[in-house]
Amino acid sequence: MLTGRARVLPALLCGGLMALGQAPWNLWYLALAGLVLSMALFSIQRGSRAALVVGWGMGTGYFGLALNWLTEPFQVDAAVTAWMAPFALVLMAAGLALFWALAFWGAAQAPRAKLFALVAAWALAELARGYLFTGFPWALVGYLWEPTQAIQWVGWTGSYGLTLVTLALAALLASALRGGWRSGAAGMMLLGGLLWGGAQMLPPLQDLDGRPVVRLVQPNAPQTQKWDRGFVPLFFDRQVEFTAAPAQDGLPRPELIVWPETAVPRLLENAEAELRVITDAALPGRVVLGIQRSEGYDYYNSLALVTQGPKVEAVYDKHHLVPFGEYMPFKELFRHINVSGIAARAEGGYSAGPGAQLVDLGGEIGFALPLICYEAVFPQDLRAAARPDLLLQITNDAWFGNFSGPYQHLAQARIRAIEQGLPLLRAANTGVSAVIDGAGRVLKALPLNEAGFIDAQLPPPLRVTLYSRTGDLPLLALLALLMVLAFVPHRRKTD
């Protein structure tokens, strides 16, 4: 029996093994093995305190490895903020691990079927992680299926629902390690159902004949140079050149050209000259671009649809902002150590927009639901008043470095497309820019750290998914029921 600090090391290792299921490793089978071992390690603990330590250790190991890209934003202004990078990663991993620690602690107090209780409590903790304190559902447990066809289940269950199923699978297999052959058989059937069922859900490639052509522009502006006055004209001219370039692959001129987040180095209200150059280069197409704007004393991270004139036809303001990146909680507290150096260049950060909304892109393209960078991480942020024709993400993943962050962000964009059954256009400053269909297939992409553009025909929407209709409320109700079954003692009948 492990005691004291000896519990933490195997828990950390189990968590690290689980993290290998996330991009760029995509070793889903090792992640599943780590999850099964985590369940088994929990099952041999005695007492809620021991279980809490194990849960916290697993979470710290998992988030410490999966979120290693969190150190990258601190390197942009390294002279000021680099010293904070290891502290930020450790504190973030240890803090997120508290969600898991509470789940393990609570499950250990269940009067019976503690593994069953852990499945319910852990799934509830992952759901809570996506919503509480503005939410941070990055690297959900269920994302280990992203490189497999089992990820198609998110169209039915959503990502949090697939996490619940994944935890149930791990609990069955962990029970089999202790001699529960029936549980093992059930687990293998569930695993087969996930993989085989997901393969059956994958629709055939759609016929794109006659579909509108779109262009995604990727300037590849490193974050250390993006706002440097010596480089700003270079990156702007590069994007204009890509916008005006002849069409690729024998396609007609694009109807829509998409630039990435904060692609124009001026405030929208002061950018008439730049917008005229852009729209002239785009003729006869329209341009969607990322730009900042101000309104009184408020600054916004925005997306604008512009046409010849120049005319700004629509504006969308990002509403789900990044804490410490786009706004500063308790900024007065941190100002004396210059933490605000990593925030938006507008002092005090950005203000939040009103929420999800649709933008009419015109013609055969239809209505898009805009997502600016981080907003694509949140399944709940895609619940607009009406179903769009496509999802449109503009992002600047230069903040995330060159290893895991950009690929994890791309993976989550794929999952959003599957959840909604909608195509997704993704224009990223340094990559990966991609055209993704409603089944999550990357039809065309530009690699990381490569300047260029891609032309592609826009896939049509797939059928409406169950998850896009229901959201997370049915899962929350199910988890509440499971928690009651796990934690409320049964009363025995007496004569």
Q: What pLDDT is recorded for position 450?
A: 97
Average pLDDT over residues 181-201: 96
pLDDT over threshold 80, residue 153: yes
Considering the chain, what is the average pLDDT of its residues?
A: 93
Asked if residue 98 lies in contact with residue 60, where contact means CB atoms within 8 angstroms, the answer is no
Average pLDDT over residues 4-15: 86
Q: What pLDDT is recorded for position 2?
A: 53
Q: Residue 331 — pLDDT band, cuts 50, 70, 90? A: low
Cis link prior to 370 (omega < 30° from 0)?
no
Q: What percent of the chain has pLDDT over 90?
A: 86
What is the four-CA torsion angle of 39, 470, 424, 378, rounded to 10 degrees?
-50
pLDDT over threshold 70, residue 407: yes
Asked if residue 361 lies in contact with residue 288, where contact means CB atoms within 8 angstroms, the answer is yes
Lowest-pLDDT range, 199-208, 317-326, 424-433? Answer: 317-326
Q: What pLDDT is recorded for position 326?
A: 82
Q: What pLDDT is recorded for position 340?
A: 46
Lowest-pLDDT range, 14-18, 215-219, 347-351? Answer: 347-351
Q: What pLDDT is recorded for position 3?
A: 54
Q: What pLDDT is recorded for position 180?
A: 81
Average pLDDT over residues 30-35: 98
Beta strands in 373-476 (DSSP E): 390-395, 424-428, 433-436, 442-446, 452-457
Type of residue found at 487? F
Tokens coding 92: 């973030």
3-class secondary structure, 419 = helix
Q: What pLDDT is recorded for position 341?
A: 44
Residue 146 Cα distances to 36, 188, 427, angstroms? 18, 19, 21
The β-bridge relationship of strands 213-218 and 452-457 is antiparallel
Average pLDDT over residues 57-78: 94
Q: Residue 490 — pLDDT band, cuts 50, 70, 90? A: low
Asked if residue 466 lies in contact with residue 481, where contact means CB atoms within 8 angstroms, the answer is no
Q: What pLDDT is recorded for position 270?
A: 97
Active site residues: 261, 318, 373
Q: What pLDDT is recorded for position 348?
A: 60
pLDDT over threshold 80, residue 179: yes
CA distance 59 to 244: 48
Tens digit of pLDDT for each residue in 297-315? 999 999 999 999 999 999 9
